[in-house]
Amino acid sequence: MKRYNLSQAAKELGVTRQTLYYWIMKKWIKPKRDYRNYPVFTEEDIKNIQEWQDKLHEE
């Protein structure tokens, strides 16, 4: 299973690292953590965040 770090996930989602970090701090998204306690995202996480983004843009 592919895992994405913060920069890779941001690129996949079309947002900046800072935006993704802000969402994590606000607890709007909850990434898994690696052994260094860095946020990591799975392909499933990316898909779920994209769906959440799409829903926000609909409103």
Residue 3 confidence (pLDDT): 94
Q: Which CATH class is domain 3-58?
A: mainly alpha
Taking the C-alpha atoms of residue 1 and residue 18, their distance in angstroms, rounded to an integer, is 25
Domain ranges for the chain: 3-58
Q: How many other C-beta atoms lie within 10 A of the C-beta of residue 49?
A: 20
Structure confidence by residue, pLDDT tens digits, 35-46: 999 999 999 999
pLDDT of 29 > 90? The answer is yes
Percent of the chain past pLDDT 70, that is, above it, reads 100
Mean pLDDT (the chain, rounded): 94
